[in-house]
């Protein structure tokens, strides 16, 4: 059971940390068994999430964790936002948290300013999810560590729940997990941590619902795992004008770095918050050059490739220079 695995981690981490890190039994349990147990709890939920457990990278961490990641946002705890169980090994407390990637913020702003930014964004998350915030605790969490990453986890905490190892109410524990995962997906649907004024400016509308749908569509298109899979399966050539970066630009890099874009064909007005299935790869996508991608968004039916092709009045041909 997931809750008992986390209790095991909380109770034994201090003792195990005194042992060598390499091939440690507890470390292997967290990385493999605990992550698999977490995935089992996603089977009957409408989420496509990755799970990962960590006790450190190369050396023991001050705070071990188990995370849930939406690939549209991130697949790592270093950036974006995600759901995580953070363990305070000193007090044997386990914190369920809607949290943020610390490392990327530190790299951009430095540690002190970075923590201020994480705290501000945590407040923004609470404001963006008021109906979920009301069901959780939004008080600061204490991980009993002055190390850089734990201080970032504390600053990035938006809301969650604290449990004591050995005293976990199982019914509440699993209800909390399901509820916070729904809040996570709602945050993805509502624009994540992007400021509202930035969302309005980029979407070109002042309608908050349409703005959120626009950002969700763009997030899907830009997701690294989606882009790579679509280009691999549909071919790296613009499906509207025929631009072939290899032939016409002399592009010679990896296919996933081709100067083409993927277009999510599902009309924005059909995107609804909480959709259990947001996309199918490659069926719901087109591969387009930047110009054709921009043009298709001027068409009422953004899935109408035939209409887009009718607007293209030229054809790319190789240019040979003597």
198 within domain boundaries? no
Domain boundary among 189, 219, 241: 189
321 within domain boundaries? no
Could you tell me which residues come within 8 angstroms of residue 316 by beta carbon, excluding any fewer than 6 positions away?
241, 242, 243, 244, 247, 248
Task: Say whether both 179 and 221 belong to one domain.
Answer: no
197 within domain boundaries? no
* pLDDT classification of 72: cutoffs 50, 70, 90: confident
Q: What percentage of residues in the chain have a pLDDT greater than 70?
A: 92
Task: Say whether both 81 and 133 belong to one domain.
Answer: yes
Say which residue, 318 or 43, is predicted with more confidence: 43
Domain boundary among 137, 159, 189: 189
- Stretch 199-205: mean pLDDT: 73
> Residue 191 above 60 pLDDT?
yes
> Residue 173 above 50 pLDDT?
yes
Task: Say whether both 148 and 221 belong to one domain.
Answer: no
Per-residue pLDDT tens digits for 257-270 = 999 999 988 765 56
Domain count, the chain: 2
> Residue 146 above 70 pLDDT?
yes
Task: Say whether both 42 and 87 belong to one domain.
Answer: yes
> Residue 218 above 90 pLDDT?
no
> Residue 204 above 80 pLDDT?
no
Burial of 282 (0-12, 13-18, 19+ CB in 10 A): middle
Here the CATH number for the domain that contains residue 14 is 3.30.920.90
Backbone φ, ψ for residue 120 (5° rounding): -65, -45
108 within domain boundaries? yes
pTM across the whole model:
0.78
Task: Say whether both 135 and 279 belong to one domain.
Answer: no
Task: Say whether both 100 and 167 belong to one domain.
Answer: yes
> Residue 274 above 90 pLDDT?
no
Domain boundary among 141, 160, 189: 189
> Residue 193 above 70 pLDDT?
yes
Residue 86, CB-side half-sphere exposure with 13 Å CA sphere: 30
194 within domain boundaries? no
111 within domain boundaries? yes
> Residue 181 above 50 pLDDT?
yes
Q: Are 159 and 182 in contact (CB under 8 A)?
A: no
Please give the pLDDT value at position 276. 44
Per-residue pLDDT tens digits for 25-55 = 999 999 999 999 999 999 988 888 999 999 9
Please give the residue range of the domain that contains residue 247: 209-311
Task: Say whether both 9 and 99 belong to one domain.
Answer: yes
Task: Say whether both 146 and 238 belong to one domain.
Answer: no
> Residue 315 above 80 pLDDT?
no
Task: Say whether both 102 and 26 belong to one domain.
Answer: yes
Which range is least confidently modeled, 63-72, 112-121, 221-230?
Answer: 221-230
Task: Say whether both 307 and 185 belong to one domain.
Answer: no
Task: Say whether both 232 and 172 belong to one domain.
Answer: no
Task: Say whether both 138 and 273 belong to one domain.
Answer: no
Per-residue pLDDT tens digits for 304-314 = 999 999 988 87
Which range is least confidently modeled, 111-120, 157-166, 233-242, 293-302?
Answer: 293-302
Per-residue pLDDT tens digits for 153-170 = 999 999 999 999 999 999
Which letter does DSSP use for residue 247 in this model? Answer: I
70 within domain boundaries? yes
317 within domain boundaries? no
Say which residue, 44 or 122, is predicted with more confidence: 122
* pLDDT classification of 273: cutoffs 50, 70, 90: low
Helices 208-222 and 224-234 cross at an angle (nearest 10°) of 60
């Amino acid at each position: 059971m997931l809750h008992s695995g986390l209790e095991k981690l909380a109770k034994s981490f201090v003792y195990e940390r005194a042992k060598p890190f390499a091939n440690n039994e507890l470390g292997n349990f967290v990385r493999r068994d605990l992550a698999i147990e977490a995935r089992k709890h996603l089977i009957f939920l409408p989420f496509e999430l990755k799970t990962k457990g960590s006790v450190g990278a190369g050396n023991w961490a001050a705070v071990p964790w188990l995370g849930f990641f939406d690939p549209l946002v991130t697949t790592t705890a270093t950036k974006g936002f995600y759901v995580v169980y953070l363990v305070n090994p000193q007090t044997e407390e386990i914190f369920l948290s809607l949290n943020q990637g610390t490392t990327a913020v530190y790299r951009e702003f430095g540690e002190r300013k970075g923590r201020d930014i994480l705290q501000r964004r945590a407040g923004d998350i609470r404001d963006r999810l008021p109906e979920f915030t009301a069901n959780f605790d939004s008080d600061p969490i204490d991980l009993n560590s002055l190390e850089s990453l734990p201080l970032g986890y504390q600053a990035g905490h938006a809301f969650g729940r604290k449990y004591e190892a050995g005293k976990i109410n199982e019914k509440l524990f699993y209800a909390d997990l399901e509820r916070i995962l729904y809040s996570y997906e709602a945050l993805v649907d509502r624009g994540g941590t992007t400021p509202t004024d930035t969302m309005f400016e980029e979407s070109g509308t002042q309608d908050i619902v349409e703005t959120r749908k626009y950002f969700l569509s763009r997030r899907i298109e830009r997701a690294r795992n989606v882009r790579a899979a679509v280009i691999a399966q549909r071919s790296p050539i613009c499906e509207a004008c025929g631009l072939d970066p290899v032939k016409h630009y002399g592009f010679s890099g990896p296919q996933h770095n081709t100067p083409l874009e993927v277009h999510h064909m599902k009309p924005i007005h059909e995107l609804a918050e909480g959709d259990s299935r947001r996309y199918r790869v490659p069926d719901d996508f087109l591969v387009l050059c930047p110009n054709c991608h921009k043009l298709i968004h001027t068409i009422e039916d953004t899935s109408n490739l035939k209409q887009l092709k009718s607007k293209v009045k030229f054809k790319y041909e190789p240019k040979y220079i003597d």
